[in-house]
Amino acid sequence: MNTFGAKGQGALLVLSAAACAAGVAHAQTPAYPAKSIRMVIALAPGGGVDTTGRFIGQKLSQVWGQPVVSDNRPGAGGAIASEIVARAPADGYTVLVNSSGITITPSIMKLPYDPLKDLLPVTLAAISPGVMVVHPSIPARNVRELVAFARAKPGELFYSSSGQGSGQHLAMALFSQMTGVRMTHVPYKGTAPSITDVVGGRIAVTIASVISTRPMFTSGKLRALATVGTKRTPALPEYPTVAESGVPGFGFDNWYALFLPGGTDKGIALKLQETVSRILLEPETRKLLLTQGLDVAGSSQEEFAKMYADEIAKWTKVVRAVGLQPN
């Protein structure tokens, strides 16, 4: 998707165009909102998804003059919150804020809802940029050198993740598939220990967020090779992406986005998308998300819907390739 990640004037034009289109569409929609809105947040309080959702909720409340009540429902990789919204009335008064993990859960879990029919993608909101890091003892200063080193030692290099079937795991598995290297996966119970063992030299490489690894690679405890998103991030503009570093087509973005129940009136969905787009354009929004290590992102509803479906298909293929079975 060519508008993934808001950056510079181009992104502003995309968001503004989407807002204009939405304005025409919702002009014929009955008054909305006319009462309070429940915003179901798929992760626990304190993280990027929670921060993003609560901030957008507060701004929506200010703009619309109706309360937006945040309701954290973490668990099952975001599936608990997703099911709540999927089963809610399709009237626009229940909104889901979830992460890109929502495109992985359909391939690793047997869900009680249809992720493509029962949820309506509305818009991207933010991206938590990621970076590929290695222990300094690994003689690789870029992705090409890492690939060459790994090919010379098939199966001998270990990579860590926050757990089996996590985004980190599948992103590294995709990297291995696309480069033809064979590395050994070591799953951990959480991101922090998976990074700690790379710092300690027990693990060679991992993918993690910029905000969680920056102190380590700026101090020399880790070495950053490339960012892992589909585009360069303003957080590390001097670093190329993995795709730019010899692995064309690779991309892993940990994004946060808004959804409505499937079947929600298109005019209501577009009004929500339009208003969120305006919020994302505000300097206050960019400043807040930046302090949380996040990039502002934006999209039209159609672009996000396509990306959502494409990523479900993409990760389903990766999950099958690594042999994980839905549970």
Preceding omega of 139 cis (within 30 degrees of 0): no
Contact 92, 260 (CB under 8 A): yes
Q: What is d(CA 184, CA 213) in angstroms, rounded to the nearest whole number?
A: 21
Q: Would you say residue 7 has pLDDT above 60?
A: no
pLDDT in tens, 181-235: 999 999 999 999 999 999 999 999 999 999 999 999 999 999 999 999 999 999 9
Residue 115: name the closest of 131, 127, 104, 126 by CA. Answer: 104
**Is residue 76 helix, strand or coil?**
helix
Determine whether 46 is exposed, middle or buried from the number of CB atoms within 10 Å of its CB (0-12, 13-18, 19+): exposed
**Would the pTM count as exceeding 0.75?**
yes
Residue 166: name the closest of 208, 127, 199 by CA. Answer: 208
Q: How many residues does the chain have?
A: 327
What letters, b where the CB count within 10 A reaches 16 and e where it falls short, cover 271-280?
bbbbbbbbbb
pLDDT in tens, 276-321: 999 999 999 999 999 889 999 989 999 999 999 999 999 999 999 9
Handedness of CA 224, 197, 293, 318 (dihedral sign): positive
Instruction: Supply 73's token pair.
Output: 């429902």
Strand partners, 71: 40
Domains and CATH numbers, the chain: 8-128+254-322 (3.40.190.150), 130-228 (3.40.190.10)
Q: What is d(CA 242, CA 215) in angstroms, rounded to the nearest whole number?
A: 21
